[in-house]
Amino acid sequence: MKTFIAATFAAAAMAVQNLDHEFMQFVSHHGKNYQTVEEFAMRFDNFVQTHNFIQEHNSSNSTHSAAHNKFSDWTREEYTNMLGLKNMDAPKINGKTVSATNASVPSSVNWVEAGKVNAVKDQGQCGSCWSFSTTASMESAHAIKTGELLSLSEQELVDCSWPQGNMGCNGGWYYYGWNYLESHVSELEASYPYTAKDGRCHYDESAGSVETLGSGDDQGDYVSVTGSPDAIREALVQQPCSVAIQADQRVFQTYSSGVLTSTSCGTDIDHAVTAVGYGTENGSDYVLVRNSWGSSWGESGYIKIGLVDGAGICGVNQYVAYPNVKN
């Protein structure tokens, strides 16, 4: 019995020692800088909790893998503060709504591979995900229409679209971003760079690159898509779409690869992203989603979310829409 107890303590000590080493590698890799011994201990505890979740998840029969990333030492409050739809009411949707038409669609679509999606951006610790979703779908719509892939300004929307209902780093909706762009041109990121904080609006119409929204037909400035897998596929054949999801659970935070099909992700919307394609992997249908947390998160900044009926995995089916651009 004494030998067994000693072996158990030795194994536990070895596990803690290994985690100490892994945590220090994490700190070095992500350039973390803690100010006090107390903060170091708190961050280590957060890391251990995340580590335990990852270990448990990866030992289960799941359709996706989990891994550490730059959020592994964050508190829940820090993480949820970054989610820009957490405190936003359901949007006022003024665009046309379309449903599935049972049209024939290809088995997969990938606008990234087609060269119509910009490199993944990073919103930082500002709850401005909605602005990145607004610009990403605009950038792709413009690229598909003209062949020119531009990088549009998220900061313009953060600073200037408050009258339409957005709240800068405290949240907003891509619908309200498009409402702003009904009467304002979208400036280039180069002329109105991102700062990851609220700022004073210095909109300059002469610096604009993409004109106001509106296709000149009965579709209006943007189109909402009823949340069935067929309707979403039909929309994505045309262009990338802005979508909203729940992202405050560890199952999403620690996503690394594969298709996330877990219902534990939830369907209470708190984060805006962009759907840029769809397909099937190992028998699981998915929608390919571009996040705004940098390329070190997920699959080089992307996640494959299971495409199912109802509200969808992580609620992805609930607020699907795409903009019409004049040029």
DSSP 270-326: -EEEEEEEEEEETTEEEEEEE-SB-TTSTBTTEEEEE--STT-GGGTTSSEEEE-B-
Annotated catalytic residue within 271, 314, 317, 324: 271
For the chain, give percent helix, strand, coil, nearest 5. 35, 20, 45
Determine how many CB atoms are found less than 10 A away from the CB of residue 279: 18
Annotated catalytic residue within 64, 68, 118, 129: 129
Q: Annotated catalytic, 169? A: no
In terms of DSSP H, where are the helices of 59-196?
76-81, 129-146, 154-160, 174-181
Annotated catalytic residue within 46, 166, 291, 324: 291
Q: Indicate the residue type of 325.
A: V
Q: Annotated catalytic, 129? A: yes
- Cα-trace Rg, the chain: 21
- Give the whole-angstrom CA distance, residue 320 versus residue 322: 7
Residue pair 279/288 in contact (Cβ under 8 Å)? The answer is yes
Q: Annotated catalytic, 30? A: no
- CB under 8 Å to 118, separation ≥6 — which residues? 136, 139, 149, 151
- Give the whole-angstrom CA distance, residue 206 versus residue 212: 13
- Give the whole-angstrom CA distance, residue 89 versus residue 84: 11
Active site residues: 129, 271, 291
